[in-house]
Amino acid sequence: MQESDYRRVDRRAWLSALSRTVRGCLGLGLVAALAATSSRAVAGGFEIPDVGTEALGRGGAFTAKASDPTALVYNVAGLAGQRGTRVLVDAHSVLSAYSFQRAGVYPDNPRDPATPWGGTPFPKVSSQTGFFVAPMVAITSDLGFDRITFALGAYGPSGVPNRTYALGVDGKPSPARYDLVQSKSILVLPTAAVAYRLTPWLDVGVGAHLVAVGVDELSVSSSETSTTLCPNHEYRPCDSTGHLKATGYGAAASLGLLARPAPWLALGLSVRSASSVVAKGTIEGQAPLATPVVVEPGDAEVTAALPWVVRAGARVPFHEGSFETGDVEVDGTYEAWGASEQGSRLSIPKVNLYRDINATLLHHYQDTFSVRVGAAYNLRVGEGVVTLRCGSYFDSAATRPAATRVDYDTLAKTAVTVGVGYHTSSIAVNVGYAEIFAADRTVSEGEYRPINGAQRGQTVGASGELLPAVNSGTYSSHNRIVSLSFQILFDPIVGSHRTGL
């Protein structure tokens, strides 16, 4: 077929391409839905899918493709096929909605002027996160070599920062206040990687990740010193607030393989190691109204961990001559949250009257699994190529029902994604969109209990009895993502072009 034939794109060609894409998307959505209903062992992921606009449009199925600098996330071996020097700027804009309708009623005394809401049902609380932008930047270059590519970049994992809940709802204390009020914590992974083309059909890559954590958490805890001052376990005048700020660093490594055993098949495998982080900083608190004192800032230390992450994928590309007309990819992910979590430990040597506060903050995470299915259709337009993408995925729940909380959205999720891109030899622009659904989860017997600062951070009351759980109720979640990326390939601009093996 002559080059001029590709440029003669008429209306019938566009309609045909759109029709094939829509039919493919419907099929992929059905595959993910069947996987979601047939087994729990099909998920992986924590709150939202991974970074990358092209990957998002493909339902996160990118391990066996990894054809842009987001290979730093999906499969570092994919860097080996990226010739020349390129820069990527990529960003997700996320609208996250997460709410909690706590079961039961306020345990307070309605005749107490300080607690007139006593005996009334708990109101519904909703996250006030709003839109936030999660960026990624990366640069890759072969530095003039035929078989090797180097890369530098920085990105964040799939979380929702700035999750915020009001301290009060309709004049009543928030029923979620003992879990979380506000989190502005951030986690960034500055990454360096190198990939090498061992043979024309096999690429390998390694990456080193710095795990940089900035903790900024506002929470409420019980300061139950006596049953006289605090007649029940949720007596608001016995609430104390704490604002924790800390920074810390850890490290992780990744290994990737990308094989093309046949022109119609590509196989990808990526492994990222676990990482442990110790963050040190300060905690500032406000004493409860029942015992008004000036609280001096204290030192604090928080430990946390990231899990092992394994991705595997198979991709089938379709060709007309040397031109790839499209592809279909199926990926699976496994994240070992259960094995990595030993509890986030909070250590506070002294905060005013209280000393040696040592709390282990367990989320009771469990390993997650995922299936991600995506496809693309390419169509030459003028000097460039238009790509239509679609996909779907299912992620399993990251906690058991009894361990569900409002600080992280750990519900099982199913998503439908679409995307479109245009690239020439020197630039690439992509747009992606994801609609992410989660079935409501009702927790009948929760396990999360508030910590008592007056009892050295233990989950017990003034008399040593175990505090009641505060996370029973119904949780609802819905997320939307709009993603945009822009990539510049410098070698065609300056008149250089390298293809390697």
Question: Residues near 83 by Cβ (< 8 Å), separated by ≥ 6?
Answer: 142, 149, 491, 497, 498, 499, 500
* CB-CB contact of 406 with 176 (8 Å): yes
* CB-CB contact of 67 with 124 (8 Å): no
What pLDDT score does 348 carry?
63
What pLDDT score does 182 carry?
84
What pLDDT score does 346 carry?
62
From 244, 212, 233, 477, select the one nearest 345 (Cα to Cα): 244
What one-letter code names the amino acid at 258? L
What pLDDT score does 37 carry?
34
Structural tokens at position 185: 């914590």
What pLDDT score does 3 carry?
41
* CB-CB contact of 387 with 423 (8 Å): yes
What pLDDT score does 493 carry?
74
What pLDDT score does 263 carry?
94
From 215, 225, 193, select the one nearest 206 (Cα to Cα): 193
- Determine the Cα–Cα distance for residues 94 and 133; give it in Å rounded to an integer: 6
Q: What is the DSSP letter of 32?
A: H
- Determine the Cα–Cα distance for residues 481 and 484; give it in Å rounded to an integer: 10
DSSP run (H or E) holding 219 = strand 202-222
**Polymer length of the chain:** 501
What pLDDT score does 353 carry?
54
* CB-CB contact of 251 with 212 (8 Å): no
DSSP run (H or E) holding 20 = helix 11-38
Burial of 499 (0-12, 13-18, 19+ CB in 10 A): exposed
DSSP run (H or E) holding 275 = strand 275-286
What pLDDT score does 163 carry?
82
- Determine the Cα–Cα distance for residues 428 and 490; give it in Å rounded to an integer: 12
Domains of the chain are 3-494 (2.40.160.60)
- Determine the Cα–Cα distance for residues 442 and 220; give it in Å rounded to an integer: 24
What pLDDT score does 8 carry?
42
**Tens digit of each residue's pLDDT, the chain (501 residues):** 444 443 444 555 545 544 444 444 444 433 333 333 333 332 344 567 778 999 999 999 999 999 999 999 999 999 999 999 999 999 988 888 899 999 999 999 999 998 999 999 999 999 877 777 888 999 999 999 989 999 999 998 777 767 889 888 989 999 999 888 888 888 899 999 999 999 999 999 999 999 998 888 888 888 777 888 888 888 888 888 888 889 999 999 999 999 999 999 999 999 999 998 888 888 887 777 777 666 677 777 888 788 899 999 999 999 999 999 999 999 999 999 887 665 555 666 655 555 566 666 667 888 999 999 999 999 999 999 999 999 999 999 999 999 999 988 889 999 999 999 999 999 999 999 999 999 999 999 999 888 777 776 678 888 888 889 999 999 999 999 999 999 999 987 766 655 444
Characterize 110-130 residue by residue with b for buried, 16 or more Cβ atoms within 10 angstroms of its Cβ, and e for exposed. eeeeebebbeeebbbbbbebe
pTM for the model: 0.86
From 347, 364, 485, select the one nearest 419 (Cα to Cα): 485
- Determine the Cα–Cα distance for residues 113 and 353; give it in Å rounded to an integer: 28
What pLDDT score does 492 carry?
78
